[in-house]
Amino acid sequence: MFLAQFVLRPAFAHAAWPIRLVLGSAPNLIVGLCFPFAVLARPSLLARRRAWMAFTLGCSGTLAILVAFEAWRPIAGAQTYDPKDLAASVLGVALALVVYRRWIEPRLRFDREGQE
């Protein structure tokens, strides 16, 4: 996120509009994609179903926080509302769900495999 916000954005400030569009909302996309995985720090402590429930709850919480930050903007210097940030937040969380379900979940080892 730091790289996107403080290095890539300034470097490509005069680039073509598609690049500026993607980089403008990149922090929201990155947080939406990455933050939900924090709940999986120790998947071996959870059964598969509980891990999915925890991950889904983490995605919901991440989206709620990103939407709240976009609506209330508690950080000085970031006081502009941008609907593209909301779209990037939703896209990031949706990508996190897909990546988890299709790629990561089948590779994890869970506690009490097969139990609820």
Give me the pLDDT at residue 71, please.
83
pTM of the model: 0.77
End-to-end CA distance of the chain: 36
Q: How confident is the model over 35-82, as pLDDT tens digits? A: 999 988 888 888 889 899 999 999 999 999 999 988 887 666 666 778
Residues 32 and 66: beta-carbon distance below 8 Å: yes
Per residue in 94-115, pLDDT (tens digit) is: 999 999 999 999 988 887 655 4
Is the per-residue pLDDT at 92 higher than 90? yes
Residue 28 or residue 1, greater confidence: 28
Task: From 93, 94, 91, 82, select the one nearest 24 (Cα to Cα).
Answer: 82
Listed in sequence order, the residues at least 6 apart from 96 whose beta carbon sits closer than 8 Å to its beta carbon are: 32, 33, 34, 36, 37, 59, 62
